[in-house]
Each structure stands twice: as structure tokens, then as C-alpha cells.
Amino acid sequence: MVIEMRDLMFLSEKNGEFPLDKLSRGSTAVITEIKAAAAAARLAEMGFVPGETVQNGFTSPAGDPTAYLLGGCSLVALRNNEAKNISVRIIAEQKGAL
Amino acid sequence: MKLTSFKQKRAAEPRRLYLLGNPNVGKSTVFNAMTGLRQHTGNWSGKTVDAASGKYTYNDREYELTDLPGTHSVNSGFSEESVAARSIARGNGAVTLILADAAALKRGVALALEFLENNGGGAVLCVNFCDIAERRGIKINFEKLSEALGIPTVGITAKKRGDIKRLKELTDKNYDILSKRAAPQGPRSTAEELLKRAAEISNECTEAPTAASSPCCAADRVLTSRIFGIPIMLLFFAGILWLTIEGANYPSELLSRLFAHIKPYLAAYVPSPLKGILVDGIYGTVTWIVAVMLPPMAIFFPLFTLLEDAGFLPRIAFNLDRCYARCGMSGKQCLTQCMGLGCNAVGVCGCRIMPDEKQRTIAVITNSLIPCNGRFAILISLSAIFIGGMVPDRLAGLMPMLCVLALICLAFAVSGGASLFFSKTLFRGSEAAFAMELPEYRRPEILKTLAVSLVTRTIKIVGRAILVSAPIGAVIWLLANMYVGGVPALTRLSLLLDPAGRLIGVDGFILLAFILSLPANEITMPILIMGYTAAGAMADAGSLADLSALLEQNGWTLLTAVNMMILTLFHWPCATTLITIYKETKSPKTLALSFLTPCVIGITLCLITKLLTKAVLLIV
Ligand SMILES: Nc1nc2c(ncn2[C@@H]2O[C@H](COP(=O)(O)OP(=O)(O)OP(=O)(O)O)[C@@H](O)[C@H]2O)c(=O)[nH]1
Ligand SMILES: [Mg+2]
């Protein structure tokens, strides 16, 4: 089911990759690549690995760390400067999210 | 039969078991349920930082179970996690219980796969949180899971006795086969491969409702929202403080009256040469601590534990991370500080959750800037006397609360400032990262939590305070009653310190009280009171009104009270904390900095308030 949705999205969205910190609230994407080699191992441990789905859950009052829902099961907070090292491709865009 | 089983137990080494799992999957809860011990549990990742062992007997055989800190990976390099790896490596010939969360099965299975790759077997997969999974309509096929992984698998709810028994039975049945490990084979997979395989396995073995309710709930959007996030947190905290101050008032009064009532009877039984030291010295100090310290602690900490169990603390860290980032730290420091509110020694140990070495050192040094419960009670009673006394009765409950809240905010702000200073000077160049798991909210079992935290935390801490304070009460009494040249030795010592005290707006007795209370902060006030009372022993200053009168007699002004509160917040860590700091860091430099930092800050702030008061008085 997810795959179908992803295919659909491919048609409508600009088929591009972008950094995770640009993912809008409520939208879901799939991780394509972890760019920072140094942090990759640590991020992988928290569950950020290519192929995993990630949803922007909510952001802290100051707008910096954002909590991401990983693989639909765990919620992990990341600072933007780390999130920008993770490339994602959108699979479900939430429009007009809170 | 009894006898043989006893012999059997004696003869055989206990069978060894380890509890491994991702953070916050209920390892310590299972450990407690299996062994009957009381490891601290809490709804956030990193509650347990040190391995702990306990024993239980099943089927006439003795088992030794070790609870490990949560880990994402068996071979992880983080200090908080390497404890797990090291322990398991040593535990050859043991069985590892791998705990997983039924609602996030994939992560647990990934850890199990990694463990099996490393060790070639020797594990049981134990899927916890079945109650929550059931509520969400998630069904797990444990037989299939067991087949896929090649190890015994069981689903449990840590809080159900029957489930714990099933787990014990399963380990008992399989121990012999499992403890003989095959050699690990094959190349190690990467985290990515492991997770992918784990996802396949767990998808095959679970049936989840299509509209899976995500743990990303509406409550978080409010609690972390731009407008409400921080005010709500402050409100929560203020509410707890208010309940503590209001609620502690009455029992405190009652206890001190009770102790005062008992005192003459006790005095009648004690032989007269010992009367002074036993009744006035020890009894006076100990009952003061019980009457004044116990009630606020017995209210504050259980309430705080409820917040902790609900999963609130990591949200605080999340909301405040930006402030910590500005100070060169990470929001995780906030968690260590929250632990410090209970006990700085625990807070210092908790600093192991900070992944960055330099940030960890800074967090250790600045932890004792946060008032622990011993100092907390001093702040509460002082603000009740001086701040509560200044406003009309209507506000008498509210003002002390606001005052304590302000002091705690001050403590957090100062600790932020100190962290900033250290991260810019001595410990430059730490890695600015913050990756933290936010646990799901869980409804705490209110009654059980209250009972357990009352017993494990409050009683234990007060018990320790009493153990320390009893001998010190005796020593202080001796000092107060040993006359050197016609003046009690205690008075003499304080006269010596008086000029220094006056310089920073307090007096010699106060300085002496802080110095003598190095073993435990709880005894600062009893020492002070004993010093003040002319008789050299505590005139029943149990109630706040008596205490207030005593302090005013001794020339206390608002400035004295404010500076006393400042010094209570910032003087030096207690002996237990200092020892813990050295054990944790093995660095004399960190130890010295931990001692000096609060000292310098406290003295500076006191000088500032004194100069300000002088200026104000000049103008008026
Ligand atoms: N509803 C429910 N709650 C549980 C269950 N098991 C544990 N909990 C709760 O989950 C939280 C975490 O439990 P802990 O035992 O502290 O977890 P841990 O794995 O030791 O965590 P770390 O030491 O941080 O790695 C606590 O608040 C427990 O009360 C369960 O089976 N059902
Ligand atoms: Mg634990």
C-alpha cells in the first residue's frame, strides 16, 4: 500500500531529494542517504537508515529540535544541523498542517 | 527435601542471566518483578546508567540476573552503552534475555539479530508491553517469531505476575541448551541491513490494524507548541511546588509538636550525664530533620516521579534544547539536572547519558548548582518564613511557592551560564548534537508509583540523612557545650568566621553551618539552630514560627535570608556528591572545579546583593 502511494507521489511531486530539516510538519518521507559519514553510525543506531520512513512530528517552541516519527514506531528528536545531513524523498505531503 | 535443595543451591554456581534491550523497554521493571528488588524505573531512555544484579530462585535453582543500561546496539561505542557490551562479553556461559517493545518490535528484533550474529545464540527474546500492543490491536505471532530468529520467544506485560512466572519458566527450561553457545559465524551486518531484516521479520509476525494509531499524539503538539510549551511546563512545576509547600505545612507542624511532646518523657529515661548529648544533641537534630525535611520530600518526589513515569521529562529537555544549545550543551543535560533535583550524586551518575565527553564533564561540574532535596527543604522553610511573612495571609501560600520557583529558575539559569563559560573556555570544541528518543506517554500507576517512590526514595534519603546527622548532632552538641575560655567552642569558631560572613552579608554561624554540613546538606539548618540557641542545644525550634523568632533574635534581616538562600543554592557539593564525581571522572581537575564553581558563584552573588542593599539603603 505504501509503495503504491509512493509511486503516486512520484508523479505529482518534483521527484527530488531534499534534506530532512526541510520536511514540513506532518509530512512523511523516506530516507535515501545519510550524508555525514561521521554521524552516520550514531544516526543509524537511533534508527535513521536509508529506506526507513520518517514523518515530521512536531517542533520545539524555539523551532530547533524537531521530533521525527521513525518507521511509524519510535519518536526521535534531532537538531536541524543534524537533520540536514539526512536526504529524504517525500512520500506523503501534509498540506495546511498545524 | 528442603535440605537437599539447600545443598544443591550451595553446590551449584547461580545461573547467570542478563537483561539486554533498547532504552526504555522495561528492563528495570522486569528486573524488579523477577528479583523483587527496587531498581529505579522511569519513562525515558537512559534511566539506568549502571549494571545492577539481583538473585531469585526458580525450581530450586538460583539465578543471578543483571539489569543493564539500555542500548541500541551491542557493539556501540557510547559510554552509556558500552557497559552492556562489556558485561555480556564477560558473561560467557550465561543466557541473555533480550527485551523488546511490542509496539516497536522491529527495533527489538534488530538488536536480537545483532546479538545473535555476535554471540551465535544464548538468548531469549522477550516482548514486553503486550498490554499496550493489545490495546492498539497489534497481534504478534510468537511461534513464528521464535522460528524466524531461532531462539525461544515470549510475550509479556512486565506488571503481570503470571507473565513474569512464564518468563522464569521458559528460561529455566531452556537454560542448559542456551548457555552452550555456538561460535559466532559469518560477517557482521551493518545497522541498515539489520534493520531491514528485522522489519521483514516483524512484519511477517505481526498483524497491525491498518489505521495504526501513531504514537505521535496531539498532546505533544500542545506541550511543545510555540505559545504554550514553556508556560505549561512552568505551570506544572509551580503546581507541584504549591502542593508541596501547602501540603507539607500541616504534617510538619504536627510532627514537630509530637516530637516536642515526647521529648520530656525521653529525657526522664536517659541517665543524666548523657541527657544533653542524647536528647538535645541527637534527638533534637534527628527529629528536626524528620519534621522539616520529610513532609516536603514525601510530597514533592512522588509527584515528580509521576511526571517522570508519564514521559514528561524528555519533553522538557526537548523544549529547552535550544537554550542548552546556546550554552554549548545539549537538552540531555536537563535530564541530568532533573535527577539532580532529587540528589546531586544521582545527577552526576546520570551524566553518563551525555554522549559527548566535554559536555559530560561540564554537566558533572554544574550539576550541584541545582538544589538537591536536602537544600530544597531549606529553601522552602526559609521562603515560608521570610517571604510568606512579608505578604498578607491571603497570599502566604502563593508567595513562598513563587519564591522557590524563582530560585530554581535562577539555579537553572546560573548553571546555564556556568556551562556556557566552561564550553567557551576550558572545554572548548564539543560536538553540538542532540539526538534523543521521546518515549510515548504512559499513564502512570498512580498509587503504586506514589508508594514505591515514597519507600525507595524518600524514606531512603531521609534514612541516610538521619544516619549522618545523628553523630554530627552529637559532635555539634559537644562543640556547643565545650567551653573554651568561658565561651562555647562553637561560638568561638563562628566568631572566627564572622568577619568573612559579614563581608558577604551573612554571619559566622551561617558559614560554620555550611562548612560543618559537608557530609550532608540536610543538617545545615539543625547546626545553625544549635549554634544560635544560647543553651547550646536546640530549643524546640521545630515549628516555623519558633524558627522565625530565633532567626530574628539573631539579627537576621531580609538580606541575611536572601543570602542564606543563595548560599544554600550555591556553596559546594556535599561529600557524597564529591566522592561520586571523583569516581565518575577520576579527574582531580573536575573535582576541584566542581567544588570551586558553586563556591565562587555563591560568594559573588552574595556580594552583589549586599552592595545592592547598601545602595538602596543609601538612597532611602
Ligand atoms: N503499560 C506498561 N508499562 C510498562 C511495562 N513495562 C514497563 N513499563 C513502564 O515503562 C517505563 C520504562 O521502564 P524501565 O524499566 O525504566 O525501562 P528500562 O528498559 O529499564 O529503561 P532504561 O534503563 O532507560 O534503558 C516505566 O515507566 C515502566 O513503568 C508494561 O509491560 N506495560
Ligand atoms: Mg532501566
Q: Dump strand ranges (E) for A1-98.
A: 17-19, 28-34, 53-59, 66-70, 74-78, 86-92
* Residue B366 forms part of a structural domain: yes
> For cell 499524539, what's the residue?
B217
Query: In chain A, where are the structural domains located?
Result: 5-93
Stated pTM of the model:
0.86
Q: Which residues does B116 contact at the CB level (< 8 Å), separation at least 6? A: B123, B149, B150, B151
Same domain for B306 and B163, yes or no, is no
CA distance A56 to chain B (A): 10
- Residue B556 confidence class, pLDDT cut points 50, 70, 90: confident
Same domain for B176 and B249, yes or no, is no
- For residue B447, the CA-to-ligand 2 centroid distance in Å is 21
Same domain for B200 and B234, yes or no, is no
Q: How far apart are CA B352 and CA B109, in angstroms?
A: 26
- For residue B112, the CA-to-ligand 1 centroid distance in Å is 19
Between B208 and B76, name the one with better pLDDT: B208
* Residue B219 forms part of a structural domain: no
Same domain for B191 and B255, yes or no, is no
- Residue B539 confidence class, pLDDT cut points 50, 70, 90: low
Count the domains in chain B. 2
Cα-based angle B300, B302, B303 (whole degrees, multiple of 5): 65
Mean pLDDT in residue range B303-310: 88
Same domain for B175 and B252, yes or no, is no
Same domain for B256 and B300, yes or no, is yes
pLDDT over 50 at A1, yes or no: no
Looking at B225-276, list the stretches that DSSP marks H as alpha helix, in order from N- to C-terminal side.
229-269, 272-275
* Residues of A with Cβ-Cβ distance to B318 under 8 angstroms: 60, 65, 67, 77
* Residue B222 forms part of a structural domain: no
What local confidence, expressed as pLDDT, does residue B597 receive?
95
Average pLDDT over chain B reads: 85
Q: What is the CATH number of the domain that holds B169?
A: 3.40.50.300
- Picking from A51, A76, A81, the nearest residue to B432 by CB comes out as A81
* Residue B212 forms part of a structural domain: no
CA distance readout (Å), A90 to A13, A55, A56, A84, B307: 8, 10, 11, 15, 36
Ligand 1 binding pocket mutation candidate from B18, B19, B25, B29 (most atoms within 8 A of CB) = B29
Q: Which residues does B135 contact at the CB level (< 8 Å), separation at least 6? A: none
CB contact under 8 A, B435 and A76: yes
* Residue B97 forms part of a structural domain: yes
Classified by CATH at the fold level, domain A5-93 comes out as SH3 type barrels. (2.30.30)
Same domain for B198 and B301, yes or no, is no
- Residue A98 confidence class, pLDDT cut points 50, 70, 90: very low
Among B83-87, B186-190, B443-447, which range has the highest average pLDDT?
Answer: B443-447
Beta bridge partners of B217: none
User: Which residue range(s) make up the domain with B609?
Assistant: 229-430+448-619
> How do residues B448-494 score in pLDDT, each as one tens digit?
888 888 877 778 777 877 888 888 888 888 888 888 888 888 888 88
Same domain for B80 and B199, yes or no, is yes
Q: Which residues does B502 contact at the CB level (< 8 Å), separation at least 6? A: B508
Chain B residue at shortest CA distance from A26: B216
The 8 Å CB, 24+ separation contacts for B81-90 are B83/B49, B83/B50, B83/B51, B84/B20, B84/B51, B87/B18, B87/B51, B88/B18, B88/B20, B88/B115, B88/B119
pLDDT over 60 at B78, yes or no: no
Using CB distances shorter than 6 Å, the residues near ligand 1 are B 21, 23-29, 41-43, 45-48, 69-70, 128-129, 131-132, 157-159, 309, 442
DSSP H/E element including B192? helix B191-205
Same domain for B179 and B305, yes or no, is no
- Residue B246 confidence class, pLDDT cut points 50, 70, 90: confident
The predicted complex's ipTM stands at 0.83
Same domain for B236 and B165, yes or no, is no
Q: Which three cell numbers stand for residue B167?
A: 518468563
Q: Which residues does B80 contact at the CB level (< 8 Å), separation at least 6? A: B46, B49, B69, B71, B352, B353, B355
Cα-based angle B247, B252, B254 (whole degrees, multiple of 5): 110
* Residue B488 forms part of a structural domain: yes
- Residue B376 confidence class, pLDDT cut points 50, 70, 90: confident
CA distance readout (Å), B590 to B363, B400, B424, B515, B600: 11, 35, 16, 21, 15
- For residue A13, the CA-to-ligand 1 centroid distance in Å is 41
What local confidence, expressed as pLDDT, does residue B40 receive?
86
> How do residues B400-442 score in pLDDT, each as one tens digit?
888 999 999 999 999 999 999 999 998 887 776 788 889 888 8
Which atom of ligand 1 is nearest to B30's Cα? Answer: 15
Ligand 1 binding pocket mutation candidate from B28, B37, B450 (most atoms within 8 A of CB) = B28
Same domain for B388 and B521, yes or no, is yes
Q: How far apart are CA B476 and CA B281, in angstroms?
A: 7
- Residue B603 confidence class, pLDDT cut points 50, 70, 90: very high
> For cell 510532627, what's the residue?
B255
Percent of chain B with pLDDT over 70: 91
Q: How far apart are CA B57 and CA A78, in angstroms?
A: 44
Same domain for B35 and B119, yes or no, is yes
Q: In what order do the strands lie in the sheet with A28-34?
A: A17-19, A86-92, A28-34, A53-59, A66-70, A74-78, B435-438
